[in-house]
Amino acid sequence: MLVAEKYSWIVSFTSPLLLLLSTMAAGLVFYWTWNKPPLAMSLEWFSLGGYTFTAGVLITNLSCLMLLVVTFISFLVNFYSTGYMAGDPAIRRYFGMLGFFTFSMLGIVLADNLLLIFVFWELVGFSSYMLIGHWKEKPEAADAAKRAFIFNRIGDAGFLIGLMIIWASAGTFTLQTLSESPELVGWQTAASLCIFCGVVGKSAQFPLMGWLPDAMEGPTPVSALIHAATMVAAGVFMLARVQILFTPSALDFVALVGGLTALVGALAALAQYDIKKILAYSTISQLGFMVLAAGTGASEAAVLHLVTHAFFKACLFLAAGSVIHALHQAQVQSHTEFNVQDIRQLGGLQKKLPFTFIIFLISGSALAGIPFSSGFLSKDAILSSLTLWKGSEFSWRWAIYAVGFAVSFLTVLYTFRMIWTIFRGPEKATIHLSVAEPPLAMRVPMAILAAGSFWILFSWNPFDFSGWVYSALSDNTSVHLNYISVVSALWVLFALGVAYWIREKEITAPVFTNAFYLDSLIKRVVEAPVFHVATITEHTDKKWIDGFLHTTAYIQLIAAHVTGWFDRVVIDGFVDGAASLAKGVGSLTRSFQGGKIQLYIFWAIFPIIIFIIWMLL
- Please report, as ranges, the residues that interact with another protein according to CB under 8 A: 594-598, 601-602, 605
**Listed residue (201, 199, 185, 191) closest to 164, CA to CA:** 191
The CA angle 219-136-198, to the nearest 5 degrees, is 70
Quick one: three-class SS letters along 496-546? HHHHHHCCCCCCCCHHHHCHHHHHHHHHHHHHHHHHHHHHHHHHHHHHHHH
In the complex, what is the shortest distance from the CB of residue 599 to another protein, in angstroms, rounded to a whole number? 8
In the complex, what is the shortest distance from the CB of residue 595 to another protein, in angstroms, rounded to a whole number? 4
In the complex, what is the shortest distance from the CB of residue 617 to another protein, in angstroms, rounded to a whole number? 17
In the complex, what is the shortest distance from the CB of residue 559 to another protein, in angstroms, rounded to a whole number? 49
Q: Do 374 and 454 touch, CB atoms closer than 8 A?
A: yes
In the complex, what is the shortest distance from the CB of residue 608 to another protein, in angstroms, rounded to a whole number? 10
In the complex, what is the shortest distance from the CB of residue 604 to another protein, in angstroms, rounded to a whole number? 10
SS3 603: helix
> DSSP assignment, residue 231?
T
Q: Based on CB atoms, which residue is closest to another protein, 500 or 592? A: 592
Q: Based on CB atoms, which residue is closest to another protein, 456 or 601? A: 601
Q: Based on CB atoms, which residue is closest to another protein, 28 or 612? A: 612
Q: Based on CB atoms, which residue is closest to another protein, 542 or 590? A: 590
Q: Based on CB atoms, which residue is closest to another protein, 248 or 595? A: 595
Q: Based on CB atoms, which residue is closest to another protein, 524 or 596? A: 596
SS3 391: coil
Q: How many CB atoms lie within 10 A of CB 24?
A: 12
Q: Based on CB atoms, which residue is closest to another protein, 456 or 605? A: 605
> DSSP assignment, residue 438?
P
In the complex, what is the shortest distance from the CB of residue 596 to another protein, in angstroms, rounded to a whole number? 5
In the complex, what is the shortest distance from the CB of residue 584 to another protein, in angstroms, rounded to a whole number? 19
Q: Based on CB atoms, which residue is closest to another protein, 508 or 598? A: 598
The CA angle 382-387-391, to the nearest 5 degrees, is 140
Q: Based on CB atoms, which residue is closest to another protein, 153 or 596? A: 596
In the complex, what is the shortest distance from the CB of residue 592 to another protein, in angstroms, rounded to a whole number? 13
Instruction: Report the C-alpha gap between 244 and 242 in whole angstroms.
Output: 5
End-to-end Cα distance, the chain? 109
Instruction: Report the C-alpha gap between 599 and 482 in whole angstroms.
Output: 140
Dihedral angle, C-alpha 216, 217, 218, 219, nearest 10 °: 80
In the complex, what is the shortest distance from the CB of residue 593 to another protein, in angstroms, rounded to a whole number? 9
Q: Based on CB atoms, which residue is closest to another protein, 569 or 612? A: 612
Dihedral angle, C-alpha 364, 458, 128, 99, nearest 10 °: -120
DSSP string spanning 36-100? SPPEEEEEEEEEETTEEEEEEEEE-HHHHHHHHHHHHHHHHHHHHHHHHTTT-TTHHHHHHHHHH
Q: Based on CB atoms, which residue is closest to another protein, 553 or 601? A: 601
Contacts of 473 (CB under 8 A, 6+ apart): 61, 62, 65, 299, 300, 303, 304
Q: Do 308 and 374 touch, CB atoms closer than 8 A?
A: yes
Contacts of 47 (CB under 8 A, 6+ apart): 53
In the complex, what is the shortest distance from the CB of residue 598 to another protein, in angstroms, rounded to a whole number? 5
Q: Based on CB atoms, which residue is closest to another protein, 456 or 610? A: 610
In the complex, what is the shortest distance from the CB of residue 601 to another protein, in angstroms, rounded to a whole number? 6
Buried b (16+ CB within 10 A) or exposed e, 76-89: bbbbbbbbbbeebe
